[in-house]
Amino acid sequence: MPRGSAHPAQGAMESTSSTPSSVTPQWDVFPQKTLGPIDITILVLYFVFVLAVGLWSMWKTQRSTVKGYFLAGGQMVWWPVGASLFASNVGSGHFIGLAGSGAASGIAATAYEWNGMFCVLVLAWLFLPIYIAAGVTTMPEYLRKRFGGKRIQIFLAILYLFIYIFTKISVDMYAGALFIQQALHWDLYIAVAGLLAITAVYTVAGGLAAVIYTDALQTLIMLVGAISLMVFSFVEVGGLEGLQAKYFDAIPSTRKENSSCGLPREDAFHIFRDPVNSDLPWPGVLVGMTIPSLWYWCTDQVIVQRSLAAKNLSHAKGGSLMTSYLKILPLFMMVMPGMISRVLFPDLVACAEPEICQKICGNPSGCSDIAYPKLVIELLPVGLRGLMMAVMIAALMSSLTSIFNSASTIFTMDLWKHFRPRCSEWELMIVGRVFVLLLTVVSILWIPLVQAGQGGQLFIYIQSISSYLQPPVAMVFILGCFWKRANEKGAFWGLVLGLLMGVIRMVLDFIFPEPQCGERDARPGVLRYMHYLYFSMVLAAVSTLTVLLVSLLTEPPSEEMISRLTWFTRGDPPAKKDLAVSTSPDTAKGAREAERPALQIDISIASENSTNDNKCPTGTKKDSKLVRTLLWLCGMERRQENPEDVAPAKHECPMASLEENPLVKHVLNINLILSICAGVFLWAYFA
């Protein structure tokens, strides 16, 4: 992994060096600003507004059913879907991490964002029609339908939950808490606990609808605040020309002589970098980065679930286009402000001594991650500081709520229903909400490892872990969707072999951390010489070959494993078995008793509502006031004990419609071409 070599501000030296007597270190005398009364007032108003929107959306939607809670009733139009996709993706980890990577090494990390511009369009135009035709709620459920059996579904559901904890929840919580720590000087864990308390209220209570509507509000706040800070930053540094001239002089006053430690990279303003010795080699950026990006945008439950909540395919495409256009902004809103922060505060942001970095930010590996909060606190006037504080918390809360809701969906629909297939819808609602609370506790316990990982560059930590766990899953989805011959055995062993290699590499990364700048690299060769993006390419190749070989050497999948489940068969008429199952589970059970275990999860939500509540009684009619209040808050004040009390089942498809208006379709396709052209131009200009 060559990114350890000559990487400024990513780490610092162990060896001691004295501060020149003529230079007073910036970190020793720099005044610490905090939020004023006006800032606090704006922050409080923001919280009140967000809670109001969250509560309004709770009343607006039916949140006492599985579809209402997990898919927002399937009634979302394009702009909340697009805003929620963007807000779910751009969490506080993005603001902190992208700005930190910009301060440490320049604009190269922008490649992840502009890669997403294309991948979110691939989701809407290629993958989403398959998911809608398949009628699935979760991504593990799709693989169970496509390949049969349960082991892939269970395996993948557990893996998704691990990925959420490793790369998403704890990272966003740490980033948001770091910002609050810089602004208010609170303890890191107190800050995390406070944020989670507010976030949990409408996530647990309101479900996906509350999450999407509050995400739309958070996106507006994020854009207004981040663009305001961008304008202040560029004015301060003298525009893009001023940044290009001054960035290379942003060197900390205390650093070891005759060393590259603390020096800006020469290729800081290039996205495409040396293929062997750079921190982000260009072949890895083009190929190795695209594979985890396809996993994230096309098969990750957090992203796909928002698209499945759209009214129809056209609204889902419109949401993806909106997100694609918004993904142009992170270079100017996050990465370059991080570089400007280094120019303005080189001794703080680019510190090159472990002892000094420990004093500044509590992380001896480097302090590039404080670039964005330092810019907000020191540069913005009173009032705008409070707005930017709201932006950071908006980013944190929007991504956390999205992840919590999706993780809860996977656990409830893929794991809990597997072990308790006859449970009632009421029980699923309780389990989904309780799991959110459990997930937060596990994530908090993971924060110290995130803090110590990857040399103080949060964004690089996220991407390296993603490169170890996601490529095998991405290739199995791609082959399952676009190659009819792929079967269950091939998919399973491709997943197992690829993930085994990825986990070994991830464990080695934790056992042998990257050496700090100036230290000898004594790591094993696979870590020293193979960048994580190249390793991503190897994982994808191994997984693909395994799926191809095993599938060709074993029996082909049956017709029911292909119909309506691949790109080429998405237009097939629904099978009679599916109609029977969705209409009457008792009839289906009598007709196909041998297949009952494999079909239980296919039974529609509406059918469970009318038949399974008898089998899973839930409590007594008399509850304490506290219990009744909690049930009311969660939209579950009426327990479904008698089948007479339940509304008749509606035989509706739990997914969006594939129908598209011809005129709307043409407008969307024109915008697709415009978005792709904009992305290609940006890549070429900054390459």
Could you give the C-alpha distances from 552 to 143, 491, 497, 566, in angstroms and in order? 19, 12, 17, 18
Question: What CATH number has the domain bearing residue 236?
Answer: 1.20.1730.10
Any alpha helices (H) in 420-487, and if so which ranges? 425-452, 458-469, 471-482
Specify if 568 maps to a domain. Answer: no
pLDDT of residue 493: 96
pLDDT of residue 402: 76
Q: Rounded to an integer, what distance in angstroms lies between the CA atom of residue 515 and that of residue 28?
A: 27
Q: Could you say which of 454, 470, 486 is where a domain stops?
A: 470
Specify if 434 maps to a domain. Answer: yes
Q: Could you say which of 585, 603, 621 is where a domain stops?
A: 603
Contacts of 354 (CB under 8 A, 6+ apart): 12, 13, 14, 364, 365, 516
pLDDT of residue 632: 52
Q: Rounded to an integer, what distance in angstroms lies between the CA atom of residue 405 and that of residue 84?
A: 13
Specify if 127 maps to a domain. Answer: yes
Do 462 and 587 share a domain, yes or no?
no
Q: Which residue from 219, 209, 272 is spatially nearest to 86, judged by alpha carbons? A: 219
SS3 content of the chain, % helix, strand, coil (to 5): 70, 0, 30
The first and second tokens of residue 608, run together, are 């469970």
Q: Mark the ranges of the chain whose per-residue pLDDT is less than 70.
A: 1-34, 57-74, 188, 197-198, 200-208, 257-260, 443, 446-460, 518, 575-625, 627-657
In the block, tokens 């008898």 appear at 614
Q: Report CA dihedral (423, 429, 431, 434) to the nearest 10 degrees.
A: -170
Do 319 and 173 share a domain, yes or no?
yes
Do 581 and 465 share a domain, yes or no?
no
Specify if 86 maps to a domain. Answer: yes
pLDDT tens, position by position, 149-168: 889 989 998 988 888 877 77
Q: Which residue from 684, 687, 682, 669 is spatially nearest to 329, judged by alpha carbons? A: 682
Q: Rounded to an integer, what distance in angstroms lies between the CA atom of residue 494 and that of residue 547?
A: 5
- Name beta bridge partners: 312: 657
Do 319 and 459 share a domain, yes or no?
yes
pLDDT tens, position by position, 248-260: 988 888 777 666 6
pLDDT of residue 335: 93
Domain that holds residue 596: 577-603
Specify if 451 maps to a domain. Answer: yes
> What 8-state DSSP symbol labels residue 22?
T
Specify if 483 maps to a domain. Answer: no
For helices 170-184 and 371-379, angle between their N-to-C axes, nearest 10 degrees: 30
Do 62 and 205 share a domain, yes or no?
yes
Do 143 and 283 share a domain, yes or no?
yes
Specify if 28 maps to a domain. Answer: yes
Could you give the C-alpha distances from 267 to 275, 596, 611, in angstroms and in order? 13, 60, 64
Q: Report CA dihedral (406, 411, 414, 419) to the nearest 10 degrees.
A: -160
pLDDT of residue 30: 41
The first and second tokens of residue 131, run together, are 């998911």
- Which amino acid, 540? A
Q: Rounded to an integer, what distance in angstroms lies between the CA atom of residue 344 and that of residue 338?
A: 10
Specify if 630 maps to a domain. Answer: no
Q: If DSSP codes are grouped into helix, strand and coil, which group holds residue 509?
A: helix
pLDDT of residue 205: 61
Q: Which residue from 561, 586, 623 is spatially nearest to 422, judged by alpha carbons? A: 586
Do 331 and 453 share a domain, yes or no?
yes
Q: Into how many domains does the chain fold?
A: 2
Q: Which residue from 306, 339, 412 is spatially nearest to 78, judged by alpha carbons? A: 306
In the block, tokens 């779910």 appear at 88
Taking the alpha carbons of 330, 336, 337, 342 in that order, is the dihedral positive or negative?
positive
Q: Rounded to an integer, what distance in angstroms lies between the CA atom of residue 613 and that of residue 380?
A: 57
Do 231 and 368 share a domain, yes or no?
yes
Q: Are 204 and 189 in contact (CB under 8 A)?
A: no
